[in-house]
Amino acid sequence: MARTPTNVDLVVMSDLSACLELWASIRSLQGVGRTITSKLLARKRPRLIPVQDAVVMKGLGDPTEFWEPLRRRLQEGLHSQLVDVAAPVREVPAGTSTIRVLDVLLWMEHH
Q: What is the residue-averaged pLDDT of the chain?
A: 88
Cβ atoms 86, 31 nearer than 8 A: no
**Over the stretch 24-68, which tens digit does the pLDDT of each residue have?**
999 999 999 999 999 999 999 999 999 999 999 998 888 888 889
Section 71-83 average pLDDT: 92
pLDDT above 60 for 1: no
Confidence bin at 77 (pLDDT 50/70/90): very high
Question: Angle between the 79-86 and 98-110 helix axes, to the nearest 10 degrees?
Answer: 80
Confidence bin at 95 (pLDDT 50/70/90): confident
Domain-by-domain residue ranges, the chain? 10-110
Would you state the pLDDT for residue 2? 57
